[in-house]
Structure 1
């Protein structure tokens, strides 16, 4: 019997970023987004009404601190799992997140693979809890905690050498250029269509071989820039 999907509430003050994260989550089997909140007030109201299993929580909100919202959510009767999704890397924010019981802390911007592996870990832990034995041992508990620390999926160039030739060309065309290349630029370098380049880049990102960064201009949709991910 297939388990019900985990419901997800996305909290981010930037509508564009929330939309990108929404798309990321719904690409992962077993998860469904039930709402997007853009303020602390909205986050608290929607969490109380929707009872999400998981909240992706930004810290910088226009009317409050996402960590204060996290504290309120985790103190509630139906506390969700919380991932912090933020550009904040100061020690106070990280320490507070750990003390509150945040399960993962992802620094923006990040690619699909980084979020997908953590969502997969939560899904696996949920399945483990559903089958929890009445005589659980320390080994069972250790395994559960290990599930929430997914192995890194970074690949180096040697791994990519075993892949299809065109995939290798796309990977090698990126090189070490900063701040990465767009799908159109990579397509021109390799001599393929932009759509084909985008498809290969999605494969490389899912493998953990490249990372995706969203770069915002003054208007319009964010630009996707791809860089090699090194060990």
Structure 2
């Protein structure tokens, strides 16, 4: 039986206000998570963790950018550990240097998410983390080897995310294959006859593929009637 966990309280740390707002919005779209606070530098992150702990509402997870104006993300993570905050950290950064990745692992960062990414990738990482927390919560005071293995596997193994309500896997597969084999961009109207679906239905599936980064969405100009989006396979 799955453990019934309270919402995971998340601290979003990014020096760019737009990125911090986007990541916060992503968190709020996911069941089982809530944004506790945001910070735009390392000292702000440490103060937010301290304030939350003193208020009796400690942070559970930090989404931590590596490039901050005052402290490097690795320094922040080390200070978090030395201060005794019992939080997990997921690095969200454009930094790709292998030395930084290794440093993140040694600093106790549980996952590493490279910018730019889609909401689907973000949701996949946090869904894996949520499963990790659930597996640990299901353990007794003495953890079993299989329980620990399952918990850590949740962090490393991609999670199959449920489709949005009203979408079916067979239709999604058909739309995906159709777009993938087109030499150029297509509109929702151009899926109606080949796939036997309505324009509204085709558009819903194409928008889902665009939101997950599978296809690229752009406006189509020069056609009669109201403006229409077109979708091109993301190669």
Q: Same fold (TM over 0.5)?
A: yes
2:16 counterpart (14, 21, 30): 14
CA change 1:12–1:163 in 2 (3 A) is same
Q: How does 1:159-170 map to 2 (within 5 A)?
A: 163-164=170-171, 168-169=174-175
1:33-62 deviation digits (Å, cap 9, x = unpaired): 111111112111111112310000001111
Q: How does 1:28-177 map to 2 (within 5 A)?
A: 28-50=30-52, 51-134=58-141, 136-151=143-158, 163-164=170-171, 168-169=174-175, 172-173=178-179
Equivalence for 1:27: 29
- 1:111 and 1:212 in contact (8 A); partners too: no
Q: How does the TM-score come out when normalised to structure 2? A: 0.71
1:228 counterpart (220, 231, 234): 234
The CA deviation at 1:124 is: 1.6
Give the length in aligned residue pairs. 203
SS in 2 for 1:8: strand
CA RMSD of aligned residues (A): 3.6
The CA deviation at 1:138 is: 2.0
1:200 counterpart (205, 208, 229): 205
Larger CA Rg, structure 1 vs 2:
2
Unaligned segments of structure 2, at least 5 residues: 53-57, 162-167, 193-198, 218-230
Give the Cα separation in 2 of the matches to 1:120 and 1:74.
24
